[in-house]
């Protein structure tokens, strides 16, 4: 398992950039070999021009241009070509380095948005994301629903069986939540055992379907993975955004409905049907 990150890295975009950089380094070494060879030939050409009698035994050839001049012209073209190739390689290398830095910055930014345990967005990302989605929903006159989710009996799990078991439960529940929503929806770990789900382009009926799906999936998971004698369930509160309300107001409304559902479940009654204020 310790080798997994390295194996995954080999197929990522950053790994491809690293591979390209290695290729450039290899080409750079080959280019220096050519440069040294060209310099040696150029030095011989210079000597042939300066002291032709010592290097050219047959000074008369059937051509109007002396061979030394032709030789020098060829060497000039070779040096210019090598210079242009090296310049192009340096430019390409700078582009790849810039791309690598950009990918590293994006990776660092992405890591800062994600919760390491549950692999969903963390709370630091909530305000920016929610405000953006609310603005988009209001511009398009489309509904958006917030769903606050809280685990029941989670504190007892931590107290009786330790935080490692609690972490396991959280990771399992987050996987269930991700399986119950669409790819265009967002899941944020709001607190210790609280999750906030943002459902763009979703009305009350659609959100109710998601809520029932989550309830059923958690019940099925608990039936097969009961932690001791503690039943795990979820209290869910839905709130549909009303135009003009802020992101903080929406979260507070969803939170209040979640606590109302939790209180109703403790009293043994049915949770009130979530509605929004006109």
State the catalytic residues. 193
Residue 189 and residue 123 in contact, taking contact as beta carbons nearer than 8 Å: yes
Those residues whose C-beta lies under 8 Å from the C-beta of residue 58, and which sit 6 or more positions away, are: none
Structure tokens at 143: 């509904």
CA angle 162, 187, 135 (to 5 degrees): 145
- Separation of alpha carbons 271 and 214, rounded Å: 15
Using CB atoms within 10 A of its CB, is residue 163 exposed (0-12), middle (13-18) or buried (19+)? exposed
Those residues whose C-beta lies under 8 Å from the C-beta of residue 143, and which sit 6 or more positions away, are: 137, 201, 202, 203, 204, 240, 241
Residue 265 and residue 237 in contact, taking contact as beta carbons nearer than 8 Å: no
- Separation of alpha carbons 195 and 178, rounded Å: 11
Those residues whose C-beta lies under 8 Å from the C-beta of residue 50, and which sit 6 or more positions away, are: none
């Amino acid at each position: 398992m310790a080798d997994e990150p390295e194996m995954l890295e080999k197929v990522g975009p950053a790994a491809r950039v690293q591979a390209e950089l290695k290729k450039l380094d290899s080409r750079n070494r080959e280019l220096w070999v050519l440069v040294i060879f060209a310099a040696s030939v150029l030095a011989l050409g210079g000597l042939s021009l300066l002291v032709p009698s010592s290097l050219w035994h047959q000074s008369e050839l059937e051509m109007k241009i002396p061979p030394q001049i032709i030789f020098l012209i060829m060497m000039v073209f070779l040096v210019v070509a090598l210079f242009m190739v090296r310049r192009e390689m340096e430019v390409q290398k700078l582009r790849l380095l810039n791309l690598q830095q950009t990918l590293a910055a994006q990776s660092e930014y992405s890591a800062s948005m994600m919760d390491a345990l549950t692999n969903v967005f963390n709370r630091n990302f909530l305000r920016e994301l929610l405000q953006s989605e609310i603005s988009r929903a209001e511009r398009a006159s489309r509904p958006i629903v917030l769903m606050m989710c809280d685990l029941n009996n989670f504190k007892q799990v931590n107290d009786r069986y330790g935080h490692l078991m609690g972490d396991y439960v959280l990771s399992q529940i987050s996987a269930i939540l991700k399986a119950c929503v669409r790819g265009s929806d967002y899941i944020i770990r709001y607190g210790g055992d609280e999750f906030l789900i943002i459902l763009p382009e979703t009305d009350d009926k659609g959100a109710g379907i998601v809520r029932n799906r989550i309830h059923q999936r958690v019940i099925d998971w608990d039936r097969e993975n009961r932690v001791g004698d503690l039943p795990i369930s979820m209290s869910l509160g839905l709130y549909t955004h009303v135009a003009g309300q802020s992101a903080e107001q929406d979260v507070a409304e969803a939170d209040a409905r979640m606590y109302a559902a939790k209180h109703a479940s403790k009293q043994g009654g049915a949770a009130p049907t979530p509605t929004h204020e006109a």
